Structure 1
Amino acid sequence: MNIQALREKIQNLATQANNLIANKGDSTWTKEEQSQFDGWADEIAQLKNQIAAVEKMRSLEAENFFADKPKKQGAEEVEITDLVAVALYLRNGTNVTAEQAAAIRNAMSTTTPSEGGYTVPAEIAAMVIDKLKAYGGMRAVAEIIPTESGGALNFPTSDGTGEEGEIVGENAATTGQDITFGTAPLATYKYSSKKIALPVELIMDSAIDVIAFVLNRLVTRIARIQNRHFTTGTGTGQPFGIVTQAGTGKIGATGQTLSVLYDDLVDLKHSVNRAYRANARFMMNDMSVAVVSKLKDTTGRPIWVPSVTSDVPDTLLGFKVEINDDVAVMAASAKSIVFGDLSKYAIRDVKNSASLRRFDDSAFALNGQVGFCGWQRSGGNLLDPAAVKVYQNSAT
Structure 2
Amino acid sequence: MFHLQAERERRTALAKETRNLLDQHPGAAWTNDHQKQYDERVAEIERIDEAIARHQKLMDLTAEEHVRTAVRDTAPTGTKDEAVALFDKWCRGGDNALSPDEWRAVRNTMSTTTDSEGGYTVPTTVATTILDALKAYGGMRAVADVIRTTTGEAMNFPTSDGTSEEGELVGENTAATDADISFGVKSLPVYKYSSKVVTVPWELLQDSSADIEGFVRDRLQKRLGRITNKHFTVGTGSSQPNGLITAASVGVTGAVSATAKITYDDLVDLEHSVDPAYRAAASWMMHDDMLKLIRKVKDTDGRPIFAPGYEQGNPGGAPDRLLNRTITVNQSIASPAASAVSLAFGDFSYYKIRDVLAVTLFRFTDSAYTKKGQVGFLAWMRAGGNLVDVGGAVKTFKHGAAS
**TM-score, scaled to structure 2:** 0.88
Q: Distance in 2 between matches of 1:17 and 1:236?
A: 46
Q: Helix, strand or coil: the match of 1:40? A: helix
Q: Name the counterpart of 1:158.
A: 160
Q: Helix, strand or coil: the match of 1:339? A: strand
Q: Give the share of equivalent positions with the same residue, in percent.
A: 47
Instruction: After superposing the two structures, state which structure 1 stretch, 102-111 or 147-156, moved more.
Output: 102-111
Instruction: After superposing the two structures, state which structure 1 stretch, 151-160 or 188-197, moved more.
Output: 151-160
Q: Structure 1 residue 181: deviation in Å?
A: 2.2
User: Residue 125 of structure 1: which of 116, 127, 132 is its match?
Assistant: 127
Q: Structure 1 residue 320: deviation in Å?
A: 0.7
Q: Once the two structures are superposed, what CA deviation does each residue of 1:241-269 show, in whole Å capped at 9, x if it has no partner?
A: 10001111111111164210111111111
User: Residue 325 of structure 2: which of 304, 319, 333 is its match?
Assistant: 319
**Matched residue type, 1:393:** H
Name the CA shift for 1:310/1:231 in 2 (closer, same or farther; >3 Å): same
Q: Once the two structures are superposed, what CA deviation does each residue of 1:92-142 show, in whole Å capped at 9, x if it has no partner?
A: 102324444444444543335866832122212211221112335100000
**Matched residue type, 2:36:** S
Q: Name the counterpart of 2:364.
A: 359
Alpha-carbon contact 2:113-2:119 (below 8 Å) kept: no
1:270-309 map, 5 Å = 270-309=272-311
Instruction: After superposing the two structures, state which structure 1 stretch, 44-53 or 365-374, moved more.
Output: 44-53
Q: Name the counterpart of 1:21.
A: 22
Q: Helix, strand or coil: the match of 1:63? A: helix
Q: Name the counterpart of 2:243.
A: 241
**Matched residue type, 1:14:** A
Q: Structure 1 residue 149: deviation in Å?
A: 1.3
Structure 2 spans left out of the alignment, 5+ residues: none
Q: Distance in 1 between matches of 2:385 and 2:116?
A: 27
**Matched residue type, 1:149:** T
Q: Distance in 1 between matches of 2:103 and 2:150?
A: 28
What's the Cα RMSD here? 2.7
Q: Distance in 2 between matches of 1:109 and 1:21?
A: 57
Instruction: After superposing the two structures, state which structure 1 stretch, 324-333 or 206-215, moved more.
Output: 206-215
Alpha-carbon contact 1:307-1:315 (below 8 Å) kept: yes
Q: Name the counterpart of 2:355.
A: 349
Name the CA shift for 1:292/1:362 in 2 (closer, same or farther; >3 Å): same
Structure 1 spans left out of the alignment, 5+ residues: 72-76
Q: Distance in 2 between matches of 1:113 and 1:266?
A: 59
Alpha-carbon contact 1:60-1:213 (below 8 Å) kept: no
Q: Name the counterpart of 2:214.
A: 212
Name the CA shift for 1:358/1:163 in 2 (closer, same or farther; >3 Å): same
Alpha-carbon contact 2:106-2:112 (below 8 Å) kept: no
Q: Distance in 2 between matches of 1:114 and 1:377?
A: 22
Q: Name the counterpart of 1:41.
A: 42
Q: Name the counterpart of 1:332.
A: 338
Q: Distance in 1 between matches of 2:170 and 2:116?
A: 68
Alpha-carbon contact 1:161-1:273 (below 8 Å) kept: no
Alpha-carbon contact 1:193-1:375 (below 8 Å) kept: yes
Alpha-carbon contact 2:198-2:378 (below 8 Å) kept: yes
**Paired residues, what number?**
391
1:147-186 map, 5 Å = 147-166=149-168, 175-186=177-188
Q: Once the two structures are superposed, what CA deviation does each residue of 1:69-98 show, in whole Å capped at 9, x if it has no partner?
A: 458xxxxx9779323222221121023244
Name the CA shift for 1:48/1:170 in 2 (closer, same or farther; >3 Å): farther
